[in-house]
């Protein structure tokens, strides 16, 4: 039966229409208000409310009907943690309160994400309005990825090539270079890797190498002595250490500081000012912290007698260092280290290069980011096969690749279940990489 509107029904429809016209009713679809007072929007999202993995988008909270003479602040949340909140290009904590009505989000992992904003009266603490916006983080299209499985970058005595070992397939490929080179890291999206040209140790160049043959090689840094460049978790920045003049230290007028390089602008920013030797930076997967080695040289009547060396961390935007563990210079040196995927702890190798009576045993240790005593998770006696003893998490943090006796082995995250991965010649581990989840 066809339903016919009565004059009374029409009257109520007219009232609703007029009310909506006066108050600004909107349907909830993308950039809309969840209640009167604030509208959350983004001009960077695609028309289908998507953003590319590892890209950034700006989000704005537009207030309407709220007395702006009040002291207002904005509280921002991400609900699924597939993205990260950024202010001035730096990662900030989730649930961050700002006076600015805009914030950036970086897409870290594919999938659905929701951003929420609350407008707060800072005098009373009252939430005056809130809104949410749901969007999708998607893999970028037409981007050449070097590998589609977890890989190990391995090096033998030939510094003009690197072996790439696929952990799942067991297949090995070779990347050749026309110069003496070190391959140091791969971008989170798997499309680029970093290479250092070591032909001239007084002027070490850093190159960004693309897996797309039509893009090729890009010179990033030309000049000075730089070491061990590594990507940040969003792929937008490269971090490395750089030697500088330090005339205040008369016995050795040098220092080594950590630099952040912006791939978009080409700007170099020193994020440490330690005036000692700070190197081998590694950014935590959540982007909040940098682990590094800090060595303070010691002198006796102008003669170098050793260093006080620490495994240290600091905020990724720079700031005071937290010294996690001191290395006994007389008997030990710090080998490779790596962050756990949840950024809660660091595994590292302590290498004993002298016969000693120290209470420490050579092997792999784990230390919590918050501090405390490190504890031994793996050892099988002294291993003099490598000067670096590099290691790296893979399999989403379930396993750790390690150097052992000139081969590459694997242990589980607790130091058990020893397995041989690669034994085709005497090799060292440069780094590990695996596709994003």
The count of residues in the chain is 437
pLDDT at residue 56 is higher than 70: yes
Q: Identify the pLDDT of residue 303.
A: 82
pLDDT in tens, 148-166: 889 999 988 888 999 999 9
CATH code 3.90.70.10 for 151-433: no
Cα–Cα dist 147/166, whole Å: 8
Q: Identify the pLDDT of residue 156.
A: 87
Could you tell me the fold of the domain covering 24-138?
Answer: Immunoglobulin-like (2.60.40)
Q: Identify the pLDDT of residue 142.
A: 61
* Structure-block tokens of residue 176: 């050749």
Same CATH topology for 24-138 and 151-433? no
Q: How would you classify residue 142: left for phi > 0, otherwise alpha for psi between -120 and 50, otherwise beta?
A: left
> How far from 33 is each of 16, 25, 50, 113, 117, CA to CA, in Å?
18, 9, 19, 18, 11
pTM of the model: 0.71
Torsion of CA 334, 207, 339, 289, to 10 degrees: 100
> What does the domain layout of the chain look like in residue ranges?
24-138, 151-433
pLDDT in tens, 380-429: 754 555 555 889 999 989 999 998 888 899 999 999 999 999 987 788 89
Please give the mean pLDDT across all residues of the chain.
Answer: 82
How would residue 319 be classed by pLDDT, with cut points 50, 70 and 90?
A: confident
pLDDT at residue 230 is higher than 90: yes
Q: Which residues contact 13 (CB under 8 A, 6 or more apart)?
A: 5
Nearest-CA neighbor of 229 among 194, 177, 202, 254?
A: 194
């Amino acid at each position: 039966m066809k339903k016919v509107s009565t004059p009374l029904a029409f009257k109520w429809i007219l009232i609703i229409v007029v009310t909506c016209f006066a108050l600004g009713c909107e349907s909830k679809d993308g950039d809309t208000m969840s209640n009167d007072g604030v509208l959350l929007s983004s001009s960077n999202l695609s028309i289908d409310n998507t953003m590319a993995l590892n890209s950034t988008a700006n989000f704005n909270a537009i207030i309407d009907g709220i007395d702006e003479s009040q002291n207002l602040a904005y509280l921002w949340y991400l609900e699924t943690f597939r993205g990260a909140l950024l202010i001035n290009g730096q990662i900030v904590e989730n649930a961050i309160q700002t006076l600015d009505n805009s914030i950036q989000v970086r897409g870290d992992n594919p999938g659905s994400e929701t951003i929420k904003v609350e407008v707060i009266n800072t005098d009373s603490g009252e939430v005056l309005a809130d809104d949410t916006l749901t969007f999708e983080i998607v893999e970028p299209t037409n981007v050449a990825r070097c590998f589609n499985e977890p890989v190990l970058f391995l090096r033998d005595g030939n510094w003009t090539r690197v072996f790439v070992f696929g952990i799942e397939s067991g297949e090995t490929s070779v990347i050749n270079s026309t110069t003496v080179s070190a391959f140091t890291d791969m971008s989170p999206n798997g499309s680029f890797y970093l290479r250092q040209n070591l032909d001239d140790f007084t002027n070490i160049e850093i190159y960004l190498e693309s897996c797309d043959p039509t893009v090729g090689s890009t010179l990033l840094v030309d000049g000075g002595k730089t070491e061990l460049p590594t990507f940040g978790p969003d792929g937008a920045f490269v971090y490395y250490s750089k030697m500088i003049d330090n005339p205040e230290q008369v016995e050795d007028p040098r220092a080594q500081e950590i630099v952040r390089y912006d791939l978009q602008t080409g700007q170099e920013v020193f994020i440490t000012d330690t005036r000692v030797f700070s190197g081998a930076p590694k950014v935590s997967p959540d982007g909040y912290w940098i682990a590094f080695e800090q060595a303070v040289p010691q002198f006796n009547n102008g003669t170098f007698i050793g260093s006080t060396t620490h495994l240290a961390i600091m905020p990724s935007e720079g700031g005071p260092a937290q010294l996690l563990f001191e290395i006994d210079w007389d008997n030990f040196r710090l080998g490779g280290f790596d962050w756990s995927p949840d950024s809660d702890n660091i595994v590292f190798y302590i290498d004993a290069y002298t016969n000693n009576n120290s209470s420490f045993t050579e092997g792999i240790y784990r230390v919590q980011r918050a501090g405390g005593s490190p504890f031994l998770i793996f050892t099988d006696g002294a291993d003099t096969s490598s000067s670096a003893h590099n290691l790296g998490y893979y399999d989403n943090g379930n396993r750790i690749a390690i150097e052992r006796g000139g081969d590459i082995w694997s242990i589980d995250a607790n130091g058990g279940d020893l397995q041989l991965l690669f034994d085709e010649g005497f090799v060292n581990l440069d780094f590990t990489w695996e596709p994003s989840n």
